[in-house]
Chain A
Amino acid sequence: MGGKVTCTLGEIKNRADFIVYWGGNPAECHPRHFTKYTLTQKGKFVPNGRKDRTMVLVDIRETPSARAADIFLQIKPGKDFEILTTLRALVKGHRVNEASVAETGLSIEQLRDLADRMKQARFGVIFFGMGLSMTRGKHMNSAAVLMLAAELNAFTKFVTMPMRGHGNVTGSDMVMRWSTGYPFGVSLCRGYPRFNPGEFSTVDLLVRGDVDAALVLGADPGATMPQPGIDHLARIPTIVLDPKVTHTSRLARVHITTAATGISAPGTVYRMDEIPLPLRPALVSPYPTDEEVIRRIREAVAKKPAWAQRPAAMAPTN
């Protein structure tokens, strides 16, 4: 189990005739998703735009996104994994226990209909949001949706994509991957990259009080972390780089105001489909860019004597 079957957003625009949003509210959280990529655009192989596409929304409550959907499926909270697993069985023509389906908030007929529509699509896609990936079941839910999409390829073309947000989080993932091999939750304490989500992820390190200094860049953990993590940030020397004063700035020892990337600083941002876009600043800022501040800190640190002994070089072993 594992992997991901996906594509860039232009493939959706040009080909997708069956679009599922699961555990997300794009109408409010990704307001241009419908109009730029998925629903209303006329694509190369869906020339009539919205008329050529069917949209399904799966969520625990009726959000404004439901108005855009052809089919809205309201499910019981925490039942995503059960529904996805049932769909995987139905897609493959396996028998399912109808009694346990009743607990999900959907009927077996609704699920059969969804499975059939998925198989009959010419090009289908499931976008999944944090309502799926951060609810009960967490990464198992993500694995189930990824498997469902992968298995549908035995019948038709089907892809899936997480609805990522929070600024350039995808860009951060990409750089971490090519420089350390891992997307997040990386520890360099032993001089080489190690990965263990739950142990080395920021929230866990802070909640356990394992770190004795923090540099916060392009994020506001003071607004989103659990309270023990926030308390720890206030206890240790915390440095914030941000164009504006954030919740974290208020509990930090140092706040350095930087130019806003994309407005007054150049850079690169990655879309949710991992395609990079150049940012061209429209304004001039009196403040330095994030990059310049980090570079100057790094240069100052480099002048200090190394605290660790120089390790011996390593040669390939396997």
Chain B
Amino acid sequence: MLRITGGKVYDPANGIDGVVKDISIADGRIVAAVDGGRVIDARGMIVFPGGVDIHTHVAGAALNFARAMTPENHRQATAFLHTPERRAGLGGQTPTTFATGYLYAGMGYTTVVEAAVPILSAKHTHEELRDTPIVDKGCCVLMANNEIVLDLLEAGEIERAKEVVAWLIWAAKGYGVKAVNPGGVTAWKWGKDAKTLSEPVVGYSNVTPAKIIASLAHIVDQLGLPHPLHLHCNNLGVPGNVATTLETMKVLEGNRAHMAHLQFHSYGGADWHTMRSEAAAIAEYFNAHPNLTCDAGAILFGNAVTITADGPWQHLLHQLTGKKWGNLDVENETGCGIVPYTYKGSNLVNAVQWAVGLELLLLIDDPWRVFLTTDHPNGACFWRYPEIIHLLMHADVRRERVKKLPAKAQSRTTLGDLDREYSLLDIATITSAGPARALGLANKGRLGIGADADLAIYNEKPDGELLFRYPRYVIKGGEIVVEEGEIRKMSEGREFIVQPTYDGAIEEYLRPLFQQYYTMSFENYPVELERLEGADVRQLDGHG
């Protein structure tokens, strides 16, 4: 039992904006009152619901590939020393699993979603998540280049495709469905890409990227998944891709969707020299379409490691930069590419990218629909979120930074003209309440009675960056895990998974295809439930 007294509470889900009130905790939940137990005197502090990261890459084959590829980065990374309570590890661009849990918790985040999981190696992803302490977790499963699904779309068998998607989600022990460069990763298996939404995907005659997007969004809604289709659009990172992104959003009308790392999809111009921000055009469309949510995928200057299932883009980035290149195509399902990258303030393209991320966060009116991410570790590391929060809260700081950009870049963005400043309530919304709602996690991101007791308590200081970098206390599931900047307790998190309804007969359809195309026996493919620690299964009644 625990009581937090005298703190200023920011709880967007319940419309509480800086009201001094007590919060009582028992059995891992927020309750009306407790009798006895420890009391935290939070006078002079602010109380937030624990952060929820809707899109990050912290576990799995791709990230583990990136770790092996960048030992030179680890040498500069923050070292976590082994103690009786804590495992050793390394921070940096691609933190080790234990360090990932400590770094998220140390920043006040208590729930994270690994946004790209191939089913074939999902066992591996879950093993890593099991070794990621403190935070609660969930996975989005890669589907938009799954050839069994695409073959069914080619044949017009949308009902059977729905059954297959439902089966695959449960096989991977996933929480949501992810689409990455729909059709483009499949084309990459032949060294090609999918650059337009309306042309057939390489190897197909009826399947276009638009059809994949519309079908998957429809299937996800039909299955009643708590989180809508999680979409990485075609033409990521390419000047002029605003047209593709707007077209994609039109395709999604009538369905829900979450647009991942929108910053990378909001560029105008014809080439790298004429690239400019089109955040305003994206925000205008987005503001008028409440079926959509998005995360920023903002970038910050400095070192990053780009990791994405978007194989063709990574080959291009390797050719552009001459940096080392990792590529891992996954049979019949997806691929991934890895290129270490440094964002430079003096570089026109990087400067525009930096501005676009912030512009989207400022131009999208509703903080319940745009969330703070850096597409970790692609745009910047997640442990740099406080730097972005600081910029969102202070227009004068932003203007100073804009002045330091190359003159050409300044003319390609409107960031310097934007006066909006985020309030603390807005910050609580984009870091916690909003993403929790978009994920359909009813007990996260709020501080009402019955919610999970996940809280972050910060000193009330004027400097946004420091304020959010070092919480005084972090409470996860009712336990104090961070106190005075120290990890105090290494608790284990839960893993959220969904079980959609499907007809068991679909296995008889899949088995022969599987034996023909895969190199693993059908029985070995699904992730065993026992492999997960703290599995929190939600049964869905939407019929699949």
Chain A interface (Cβ within 8 Å of chain B)? 1-11, 13-15, 36-37, 44, 122-123, 150, 153-154, 156-157, 159, 173-174, 177-183, 188, 190-193, 195, 268, 270, 274-278, 306, 310-311, 313-318
- Bound together, the chains give a CA A310 to CA B84 distance in angstroms of 8
- Bound together, the chains give a CA A297 to CA B296 distance in angstroms of 48
Residue interface mask B188-226, A partner, CB < 8 A = 1:
011100000000000000000000000000000000000
9 other A-B residue contacts (CB within 8 Å) besides A37-B519, A44-B516, A180-B90: A3-B338, A4-B69, A4-B326, A8-B330, A182-B67, A182-B71, A306-B84, A310-B84, A313-B487
Offer 21 A-B interface pairs, CB within 8 angstroms, sorted by A: A3-B325, A4-B69, A5-B325, A8-B120, A8-B328, A11-B329, A122-B190, A123-B190, A154-B319, A178-B128, A181-B71, A183-B68, A188-B82, A192-B82, A193-B90, A275-B121, A275-B520, A278-B524, A310-B83, A316-B78, A317-B78
Interface residues of B in 77-126 (CB under 8 A from A): 77-84, 87-92, 94, 96-98, 103, 106, 120-121, 123-124
B64 touches A157 (CB 8 A): no
In whole Å, how far is B86's beta carbon from the nearest beta carbon of chain A? 8
- Bound together, the chains give a CA A59 to CA B128 distance in angstroms of 38
Chain A residues, CB < 8 A from B120: 8, 10, 275
In whole Å, how far is B2's beta carbon from the nearest beta carbon of chain A? 22
- Bound together, the chains give a CA A123 to CA B331 distance in angstroms of 13
Chain A residues, CB < 8 A from B487: 313
A181 touches B90 (CB 8 A): yes
- The answer to whether B161 has its CB under 8 Å from any CB of chain A is no
- The answer to whether B518 has its CB under 8 Å from any CB of chain A is yes
Known A180-B90, A193-B88; contact A15-B189, beta-carbon cutoff 8 A? yes
- Bound together, the chains give a CA A11 to CA B487 distance in angstroms of 44
B96 touches A181 (CB 8 A): yes
**Cβ-neighbour of B88 out of A6, A10, A157, A192 (below 8 A):** A192
A191 touches B81 (CB 8 A): yes
- Bound together, the chains give a CA A195 to CA B332 distance in angstroms of 35
A311 touches B89 (CB 8 A): no
The 4 closest A-B pairs by CB, nearest first: A10-B331, A2-B324, A7-B329, A3-B324
- Bound together, the chains give a CA A245 to CA B69 distance in angstroms of 37
Known A179-B131, A191-B82, A192-B82; contact A14-B331, beta-carbon cutoff 8 A? yes
Residue interface mask B284-324, A partner, CB < 8 A = 1:
00000000000000000000000000000001001100001
B190 touches A10 (CB 8 A): no
Known A6-B327, A157-B191; contact A315-B470, beta-carbon cutoff 8 A? yes
B324 touches A36 (CB 8 A): no
- Bound together, the chains give a CA A190 to CA B485 distance in angstroms of 22
- Bound together, the chains give a CA A317 to CA B103 distance in angstroms of 12
Chain A residues, CB < 8 A from B59: 178
- The answer to whether B127 has its CB under 8 Å from any CB of chain A is yes
Chain B interface (Cβ within 8 Å of chain A)? 59, 61, 64-65, 67-69, 71, 74, 76-84, 87-92, 94, 96-98, 103, 106, 120-121, 123-124, 127-128, 131, 147, 189-191, 315, 318-319, 324-332, 335, 338-339, 383, 470, 485-487, 516-520, 524, 528
**Cβ-neighbour of B189 out of A153, A157, A182 (below 8 A):** A157
A188 touches B88 (CB 8 A): yes
Chain B residues, CB < 8 A from A313: 485-487
Chain A residues, CB < 8 A from B335: 7
- Bound together, the chains give a CA A316 to CA B106 distance in angstroms of 10
A8 touches B69 (CB 8 A): no
- Bound together, the chains give a CA A9 to CA B520 distance in angstroms of 10
**Cβ-neighbour of A276 out of B123, B326, B330 (below 8 A):** B123
In whole Å, how far is A308's beta carbon from the nearest beta carbon of chain B? 9
A8 touches B329 (CB 8 A): yes
Known A180-B90, A193-B89; contact A314-B327, beta-carbon cutoff 8 A? no
Chain A residues, CB < 8 A from B486: 313
Chain B residues, CB < 8 A from A190: 81
Residue in A3, A36, A150, A180 with the greatest tally of chain B CB atoms within 10 Å: A3
B121 touches A36 (CB 8 A): no
- Bound together, the chains give a CA A294 to CA B358 distance in angstroms of 50
A192 touches B79 (CB 8 A): yes
From B521, which residue of chain A is reached at the shortest CB distance? A277
B328 touches A6 (CB 8 A): yes
- Bound together, the chains give a CA A177 to CA B61 distance in angstroms of 10
A178 touches B67 (CB 8 A): yes
B123 touches A316 (CB 8 A): no
B127 touches A276 (CB 8 A): yes
Chain A residues, CB < 8 A from B96: 178-181, 193
- Bound together, the chains give a CA A14 to CA B97 distance in angstroms of 34
In whole Å, how far is B328's beta carbon from the nearest beta carbon of chain A? 6
In whole Å, how far is B390's beta carbon from the nearest beta carbon of chain A? 15
From B107, which residue of chain A is reached at the shortest CB distance? A316
